Amino acid sequence: MSLLVISGAVIRMGGRVLLNEADLTIDPGRRIGLVGRNGAGKSTLLKAIAGELALDGGDIRLSSRARMATVRQEAPEGPMSLLETVLQGDPERLALLAETETAEPHRLAEIHDRLVTIGADSAPARAATILAGLGFDEAAQARPVAEFSGGWRMRVALATALFANPDLLLLDEPTNHLDLEATMWLESWLARFPGAALVVSHDRGLLDRAVQAIAHLDKGKISLTPGGFDEFVRIRTERAMQQTRAAERVAVERAHIQSFIDRFRAKATKARQAQARIKALARLPQIDSVVEDAPTHFNFPEPQRLAPPILALDRVDIGYGTTRILKNVNLTVDMDDRIALLGANGNGKSTLAKLLAGRLEQLGGEVRRGPKLKVGYFAQHQTEELALSENPIDHMARAIPNAPPPKLRAQLARFGLDADRAETPISNLSGGEKARLLLALATRDAPQLLILDEPTNHLDIDARDALVKALSDFQGAVLLITHDPNLVELVADRLWLVGDGTVKPFDGDLDDYRTLLVERARPAAKAGTVTRKDDRRERAEARAALAPIRKKARDAEKRIALLAAERAKIEAKLADPAIYSPGRSSEVTAANTRLAAIAKESAAAEEAWLMAEEELEAAS
């Protein structure tokens, strides 16, 4: 029997049709990811399922006695502790415990049986485990909700929904308020969740590792594809190709029939045949257009090259006032670096980013910056600083004084803000469009260092893919703070671990970091006994021992790719006849000198890569 059935659902909002006779069925225990472009109606559909919004047509039926949980949009508040707040997520348990105070003896036995059935005794421990997974230690769990910021309180709202252990769980962008560590925990929790779930997310990692099917909301309809997001993309691509081929065949047939009609319609002897062809033309199938909405493209301006290091920290202390959050930090940044910061929220990642961006002065030590260094800084909290009554053109004009309008529009267009959106008041822009404006503002001066603090919040999957491609093409340094593992894996080649009051390079990749988190969370095995946990720990230590060698291989591979790209640019420059014009001989000499150097550097990088691969092969 199906748990949830959506039949012919119609929802209209502001004159737009978001759902147009949409259908979806969710069976018990089925975890489904709901995807679609920004504004397609995903969050609206979740509100309709939760009963917060009435349909304009159709029907939504939830199985009788089925329990449903969703994350409240408003953050919890008040004097109650975090643990007590989460325990409120199971109203049946609370009602039964309250009834024990006044129940008759025969009813008391029934209550105790039910409490045992729902695991009431283990509820506090289960709630504490969920809170710990979302980043709250034992001391934090005992503190009042009111002491935490809005982002942390939204984590408590998420914990409350997870604790409810419902038959159907509705989650709308659950990772938006999580750090990378909590996102990884949520992925594993959802993968083990025995109930059904409908998850709206733009996190490809979550959609690949935690759901069993993808529901795609597009043009008012919902289509269901088995598997994770990668499988959805593969199947959708194949369908589009088949659809294109079918459309081409029908187009050829239409052209052939139309040609006959045009030639013989006026001839009496052929009139009957022409009428027959007209009927045949009408019977040809109508192939839906396979043309998607305009693809999303981002384009970062190319920065001026600077000598390394462009930024260096020497025994730097970082914090606010007299409070030192990070101490004795020693780091360098070059233009070719792609760095991701690891570490739980509250450890100082954003504080470090502010120092590197020049928004915060060090409390001790020395910060050395290249004399011509420009830093682009993006942070989600900057959306609060946007003037709601103004439009993107107004903001860009203030950021680039005296710039002509075409230059302002060109910078906005780099991030998909076309002419209409450029003149739309900020109050009417979506969260994703505001994020694009912040990216445009952060990169207006062609910075050599781009610092991105949670850049993917509110970006849909297409926009996230566009960001990955743009960062791959960007010729400057990148420092990332993100909860999106996919972004880290595709962009970063260096990891810095922020924790225990300092910052240090992490020798390993994201899988090694996942293993480290698991090992930290796992209680120590009893001394003198060999368990599966010991075996897993030993394997993790073995992988960690190889991490520096794997990093050498990755670094060498990246160096080879960068040198190849530089060589291609120089060769294209030398292929331009204009460079050989009088007065430019020094450019030709410099280009040829650099080509010779690139050849030597490429050979060295290839040798380093081969040696690292041989070491890995010998150790495997």
Write the CB contacts of 121 (distance below 8 Å, at least 6 apart in sequence): 115
Question: Which pair of structure tokens corresponds to residue 596?
Answer: 């010779």
Question: Which pair of structure tokens corresponds to residue 200?
Answer: 């709206």
d(CA 156, CA 71): 9
Q: Which of 69-73, 165-169, 439-443 has the lowest mean pLDDT?
A: 69-73
d(CA 154, CA 286): 48
Q: Band of the pLDDT at 243, cuts 50, 70, 90?
A: low
Backbone angles phi, psi at 57, to 5 degrees: -175, 160
Strand order in the sheet with 311-320: 323-333, 311-320, 364-369
In angstroms, what is the C-alpha Rg of the chain? Answer: 29
Fill in the amino acid letter for 411: Q
| pLDDT greater than 60 at residue 190 | yes
Strands 494-499 and 338-342 come out as parallel
| pLDDT greater than 60 at residue 331 | yes
* Secondary structure of residue 26 in the 3-state scheme: strand
* Secondary structure of residue 194 in the 3-state scheme: coil
Q: Count other C-beta atoms under 10 Å from residue 428's C-beta.
A: 10
d(CA 512, CA 506): 9
Q: Are 491 and 338 in contact (CB under 8 A)?
A: yes
Tens digits of residue pLDDT in 453-504: 999 887 888 888 889 888 988 999 999 999 888 888 888 888 999 988 999 9
Mean pLDDT for 184-204 is 91
Strands 196-200 and 31-35 come out as parallel
Write the CB contacts of 119 (distance below 8 Å, at least 6 apart in sequence): 126
pLDDT at position 158: 92
Q: Band of the pLDDT at 290, cuts 50, 70, 90?
A: very low
Q: Are 333 and 478 in contact (CB under 8 A)?
A: no
d(CA 479, CA 496): 10
Beta-strand runs (E) in 437-589: 449-453, 477-481, 494-499, 502-505
d(CA 167, CA 293): 36
Backbone angles phi, psi at 67, to 5 degrees: -100, 135
Q: Which of 160-164, 339-343, 612-616 has the lowest mean pLDDT?
A: 612-616
Burial 527-539 (b: 16+ CB within 10 A, else e): eeeeeeeeeebee
The CA-CA-CA angle for residues 126, 132, 133, to 5°, reads: 90
Q: Count other C-beta atoms under 10 Å from residue 224's C-beta.
A: 14
Q: Which of 472, 461, 433, 434 is nearest to 300 (CA)?
A: 472
Q: Which of 375, 351, 311, 335 is nearest to 503 (CA)?
A: 351
pLDDT at position 196: 95
pLDDT at position 528: 40
Q: Provide the Cα torsion 35, 38, 44, 50; round to 10°.
A: 40
Maximum Cα–Cα distance across the chain: 105
pTM: 0.68
**Any idea where the domains of the chain sit in the sequence?**
81-162, 233-283, 311-521, 545-619
d(CA 422, CA 441): 13
pLDDT at position 160: 92
d(CA 258, CA 524): 78
Beta-strand runs (E) in 475-617: 477-481, 494-499, 502-505
| pLDDT greater than 90 at residue 229 | no
Q: Provide the Cα torsion 167, 171, 175, 176; round to 10°.
A: -160
CATH topology of domain 311-521: Rossmann fold (3.40.50)
